[in-house]
Every structure is written in C-alpha cells, then in structure tokens.
Structure 1
Amino acid sequence: MTTQCSTTTPPVPARFLLLGDSHAGCVGRAARQAGLPFVGGPVGSGRDFLGPFLDVDDGDGDLVFRDAETLRLVREFLDVLGVTGFAGLGVPLVCTFGLSAHTVATRQNWDIHRDRHGTVPEGFLRSKLFAALVRAGVRGALAFYEHTAALGLRVLAPLPPQRVPGMSDPAVFFAAQDVIGAELAARGVEIVDLRARVTDGSGRQRPAFCQADDTIHGNLAFGRLVVAELLDRGL
C-alpha cells in the first residue's frame, strides 16, 4: 500500500527530509500536526525499495532513482530544500527504505526451509544462510544506505509497526527485521526503535498504535511517538 505523497514547504527552515514507503505517512502527519517543519513523504510502496532501485550518477556521484515518478518527487523535495542532490543535503534524512520486513517474510518465500511441522526452524533463523538471504532480499536498500554513509549524511530509520499480516510468517518477520536493523546500523544509520513502548508481550503492536483499517500500518499515535523520539535526538 502506498499513501499519497505530500511535500511540506515550511515557513522556517526544514528540520529534516522524510523519504520512505507508506510507513513514512504517519510520521509526516504527526510532524505536520506538531508544527515541525520538514520536507518529504512516502515516495513508493515498501517492495519498491528492497531490490535495486537507484543508480549513482557518473558525473557528480549523486543518487538517481530508477523509477521516474519517485525521481520526480525526490527532486521536488530537494528543490524545496535548495539543493541539487543528496550530496548537498544539510538536514538529517529520516527514511524507511528497506524496513518492510513483512514483505521479506512472505510465507511462500520460506516454504522450502520449513520442517515437518511447517515451522521455519529457530536454528535456521539464526544462521548465516538466513542472514545472507535477507541481505540479498533488501540489497537495494542496503546500497542506498551505503551511498548515504559515503556522502556523510545523518540518517535515521524508524522501525516499522510490529504488525505481521496473514501473508507473512511471524518468526521470519522478527528475525529478518533484526538482520536488516543490524545491517543498517553497520552503515551508520540511527535506528529509531520504539518496540518497548508500543508492543505487547508477544512482540506485536498494541491496538492503540495500529491503523484501524488495515493490517500493517501504524496510526497517528505511533507517528507522534516517532516524532517525539526524533526531537529527543536533536532534529
């Protein structure tokens, strides 16, 4: 699911650039409600930012999105910020690319690894093979964060709502999310982890922080917690 993208042109200098999939939507809504000046919003669906989705310009070394509409939106955001590319970005980047663990955890993708009880074994979920498969599944996002690190950008990545739709395997979801988070952290990304504040004993998102009309998104209350954490980190 992709929510409509929106650009905020702040009356005062923007505090951050927001890019991501639909999980970025509640963050943007909460920031607008709080009067926090920012630029950006969702620019595609979660699966758009797992496999390869960008190139590096041979001329200036900047990042170029392959999808024409995403490229248009990102350039529009950068124009609002008064820069021509990511290399000139002077504000932190808040980004959700690659964090759609529910897509990585699609049940049928892992059927070959199930035991006779239909379960993906815990030992496999902790294995180097599993980690390698997850990294391959989000290689496009990892390449993006490698480039932002090379550019010296400050990047913060809010973990998505801890919601596992029926199409996804819960054990794979949580294990894959840990792998992805570790990979992002290794690339200098600051992980915004609110799990201790929004989940129940099973590790699932509590209803108070869930969007009521779907199975994967967080609501405005969740977005407010993310924004509060961003402010606590100096944005």
Structure 2
Amino acid sequence: MTTPYSTTTPPVPARFLLLGDSHAGCVGRAARQAGLPFVGGPVGSGRDFLGPFLDDPEGHEDREAREARESEGDLVFRDTGTRRLVREFLDTLGAPGLAGIGVPLVCTFGLSAHTVATRQNWDIHRDRHGTVPEGFLRSRLFGDLVRASVRGALAFYDRTAALGLRVLAPLPPQRVPGMSDPDVFFAAQDVICAELAAREVELVDLRTRVSDAAGHQRPVFCQADDTIHGNLAFGRLVVAELLDRGL
C-alpha cells in the first residue's frame, strides 16, 4: 500500500479529494509535482475495496463507527485505519462528511481488475485448450460473477450517487500480472466500467493513449519495479485529463 498523503493545507483550496488503492499513488504524485492542490491518497490495497467495506447501518458496529456515522451519515468504512485516514482528509477539507466535501471525488475503488482476474478463480470455466471461452466472457453469468466480486465497490458508488457527488474514476494501468488471466482481465474491466458509468461515475479512460495493439500498457507508462502499477508519466496523463475536465 502506498503511503497516504495530503498536499493541501488551509487556506489553499483543494481541487479534489483523492481516495483509492495503490493505483491512486501515481495520480497523487503527479498532482503534487504539478502544484495542483488536493487532499487524500491511497487508503488501502485493491482487494480491500472489492467486497463489502462500508458499515451496514442495520448491522453491528463499534462505538467508533457509530460516532463516525453520526458525523458522516451512512457512509462509514468498516476498517478502522481507513476510517481514520478518511476522517483526517475530511477534516482537512473542513467537511463533516463526504456529502459536504464541496469538491469532486477522484476514486479508484473497485478497479483492480487484475485481482478479479486471478487465474485459479476461473479454472472451472476453461475449455480443453485451457482458455476461458469468449462466449462465456460475454455471458450474463460472467457479468454476474464479476459484479458479485466487486459488490462492495458498487455499493460505495451507489452511495456517492445518492449523495450527489461528482465522482471521477481513473482506469488503472492496463497491466496483467502472471497471476491473472488477460482475457478475463479485459472482459471484467468492461463489466466494471459499465457498472460505474450506470452509477454516473465519470471514467477517466486513457487506454487508447497508453496501450499497445494488444491492449497492454506500454513500458513508458509502467512502474519499472513491479508488475501492476503505472509510473509518474501515467499519473501525469491522468492529472492532465482531470484538469481538462475542470478540476
């Protein structure tokens, strides 16, 4: 997990709130280098934001979660570490909760398609050639399985839509590590993108600008020392797109 950070201190007004997994790291670094004021950063790993990660108002919650709910409404993170980081970001913005942030939310929750595409999870669906058939990847069953895998993120975006927030979601680097199936990765990403768009999330989609003919991220936009992250050059493209959209 990338170390969270905030580059804004009063009275400089933040242009956006950044929340996400480690893929938010290069966006934050690029914004900081460009002198673009924002608040936030990574608050967990990609898989932390696929399954349910918000407290259920009807379910059990500890005292800290209850107090957070009283100040933030119904959108409270289950993990105490994440909850505290988000609270710090909101305090920096002078906002009682996400509904009152007053700036767009840039978020990468739920976009870790490489985790959804973990090879062993799809072995039961492979044909005799060892591939996941294209027909299955276009099927309703596949879509249902992907939606179930990212149900926590979809619930989060349901809530942000209900709060009337403007949310922008940068697609992650098009990098498929060895643990993941490329065909499943790209098909799952399409399902996730459609679901976010249906929830009025603005997708920041740079695939045509950063990918090769096979759809994979070009090395010039890849972090050299790992298999999944984008580098500062990729982050700069995301920030430029955010600026073009008025942030």
TM above 0.5: yes
CA RMSD of aligned residues (A): 1.1
- Listed as ranges, the matches of 1:109-188 within 5 Å are 109-188=121-200
Runs of 5+ unmatched residues, structure 1: none
State the alpha-carbon separation in 2 of the partners of residues 141 and 55 from structure 1. Answer: 13
Identical columns (%): 85
Please state how far the C-alpha of 1:62 moved relative to its aligned partner: 3.1
Query: Does 2:202 match 1:190?
Result: yes
Instruction: Tell me the equivalent position of 1:17.
Output: 17
Is structure 2 residue 7 aligned with structure 1 residue 8? yes
Give the stretch that moved more between structures: 7-16 or 186-195: 7-16
Q: Distance in 2 between matches of 1:55 and 1:190?
A: 25
Q: Which residue of 2 aligns with 1:75?
A: 87
| 1:55 aligned counterpart, secondary structure | coil
Q: Give the superposition deviation at 1:56.
A: 5.4
Deviation at 1:5, TM superposition (A): 1.1
Query: For residues 16-95 of structure 1, what are the structure 2 equivalents within 5 Å?
Result: 16-55=16-55, 61-95=73-107
Unaligned runs of 5+ in 2: 58-68
Maintained 8 Å contact 2:73/2:97: no
Q: Deviations over 1:179-218 (max 9, x none)?
A: 0000000000000000000000010000000000000000
Q: Distance in 2 between matches of 1:124 and 1:117?
A: 14
1:103 aligns with 2:115: yes
2:31–2:239 Cα contact (<8 Å) kept = yes
Q: Is the 8 A contact 1:23 1:96 kept in 2?
A: yes
Distance between the aligned counterparts of 2:23 and 2:139, measured in 1?
28
Give how far 1:6 is off: 1.1
Report the AA paired with residue 4 of structure 1.
Answer: T
Question: 31-40 or 52-61, which moves further after superposition?
Answer: 52-61
Instruction: Tell whether the 8 Å contact from 1:15 to 1:92 is kept in structure 2 after alignment.
Output: yes
Number of aligned residues? 234
